[in-house]
Structure 1
Amino acid sequence: MKVLLLSGDFIEDYELYAPLQALEMLGIDVHIVCPDKKVGEEIQTALHILEPGRQTYSEKPGHPFNITHDFAEETKSLDKYAGLIVPGGRFPEYQRYDKRVLDVIRFFMSQNKPVAALCHGLQLLAAAGVLKGRSCSAFPMCQLDVEGGGGKYVDYEAFSKNAYVDGNLVSAPAYPAIGVWLKEFIKLLGVKVQLP
């Protein structure tokens, strides 16, 4: 099974590495792409931290990451992918103007394939016009994006315990929810995990 993960410079570090490693552990092949970056080219990840007394999050350098697959090549045949992961961080704010990225999202949503979107990743779904009539969670500062895109924003006070599923879409507010978010995405993919 293959899934596609959208990425770009200043993607949230945890939202790239945690899904990659968890899905690889289950034998799922994760193809990480970024428009205009070739295989082996580097993107810079970031750590976004909510610090006490600050009005918004700060940004620290995360681990650099080498792109695993070529965006132009992989997006020629999206049928081979079982699902799509749309992490957050800062890359969604600039890629939401990239028609190629929006077309990828539209494909997965129109085909009713599982889509896992997290944090600021919902900005891309809103820009793609696929949230009309849908409910989803996102980082609180993205509520206006969700609602402007025609979606209903689901608010969670406890970031670490909640993911929201609406049909083929699973969303969560931020990286502390990665565990439950991935659990719901894996269910949508139809993957059964058996523990001894």
Structure 2
Amino acid sequence: MKVLILSGDYVEDYELYAPLKSLEMLGIEAHVVCPDKKAGDKIQTALHIVDGWQTYTELPGHPFELTHTFADIKLDEYAGLVVPGGRFPEYQRYDQRVLDIVKHFFDKNLPVAAICHGLQILSAAGVLQGRSCSAFPMCKLDVVAGGGKYVDFEAFSLNAHVDGNLVSAPAYPAIGVWMREFIKLLGVKIQL
């Protein structure tokens, strides 16, 4: 099984690395791509810290080496899509190629996991119409503008929301429950 992970410079560090490692742990092949970049190119991740200011602080995270070349992906090979947050959704939501990827997964009703600011890309792709989802609180207007119903979880809660093939969460503290629900949507059974 293969899962596609969208990324770009200043993707939230935790929201890229934790899903990637969760999928690898389960034997799921995860391909991380970024428009106009190829396998082996590096992107810069970011750590976003809420520290009492009116907005979050952004610090450099770990550099990340892309696993696959964006131009070479074949969408029909993937069972699901992960859209992390951070700052990259802010600019990639203007890239029609990224929007077409998102539309493909929704058209095929395949599992999609989006977290934090990742919902900005889904909103721009026009796939939230009539759906409910969570996102970072500052993205509520994006969700509503995209025709979605915003599910209001506290920003750093441990909640994820599932609506059909979409699992969403407000921010990185929810990665565990968010990925658990995504893995269920993929049909992966874990026996303890």
With the shorter chain as reference, the TM-score category is over 0.9
Gapped regions of structure 1 (runs ≥ 5): none
The one-letter amino acid of 1:56's match is T
The within-5 A match list for 1:89-128 is 89-128=86-125
Q: Distance in 2 between matches of 1:111 and 1:147?
A: 23
Report the Cα offset of residue 191 of structure 1: 0.2
Q: Secondary structure at the match of 2:8?
A: coil
List per-residue Cα deviations over 1:102-143 (Å, max 9, x = no partner): 000000011000000000000000000000000000000000
Q: Distance in 2 between matches of 1:112 and 1:24?
A: 23
Output the TM-score relative to the length of structure 2: 0.99
Q: Which residue of 2 is the match for residue 68 of structure 1?
A: 67
Report the Cα offset of residue 62 of structure 1: 0.2
Q: Which residue of 2 is the match for residue 161 of structure 1?
A: 158
List per-residue Cα deviations over 1:143-171 (Å, max 9, x = no partner): 00000000000001263320000000000
The one-letter amino acid of 1:103's match is D
Q: Distance in 2 between matches of 1:160 and 1:81?
A: 30
State whether structure 2 residue 15 is matched by structure 1 residue 15: yes
Q: Distance in 1 between matches of 2:22 and 2:177?
A: 12
Percent of paired sites with the same residue? 76
The one-letter amino acid of 2:39's match is V
The one-letter amino acid of 1:83's match is G
RMSD of Structure 2 on Structure 1 (CA): 0.7
Q: Which residue of 2 is the match for residue 3 of structure 1?
A: 3
**In 2 relative to 1, CA 46–158 (structure 1 residues): closer, same or farther, beyond 3 Å?**
closer
Q: Contact (CA 8 Å) 2:137, 2:155: kept in 1 or not?
A: no
Q: Distance in 2 between matches of 1:11 and 1:31?
A: 15
Q: Number of residue pairs matched?
A: 192
**In 2 relative to 1, CA 50–68 (structure 1 residues): closer, same or farther, beyond 3 Å?**
same
Q: Distance in 2 between matches of 1:70 and 1:78?
A: 13
The within-5 A match list for 1:22-33 is 22-33=22-33
The one-letter amino acid of 2:6's match is L
Q: Equivalent of 1:85, from 82, 100, 117?
A: 82
Q: Distance in 1 between matches of 2:9 and 2:131?
A: 28
The within-5 A match list for 1:170-185 is 170-185=167-182
Output the TM-score relative to the length of structure 1: 0.97
Q: Secondary structure at the match of 1:159?
A: coil
Q: Distance in 2 between matches of 1:152 and 1:183?
A: 22
Q: Contact (CA 8 Å) 2:113, 2:166: kept in 1 or not?
A: yes
Q: Which residue of 1 is the match for residue 126 of structure 2?
A: 129
Gapped regions of structure 2 (runs ≥ 5): none
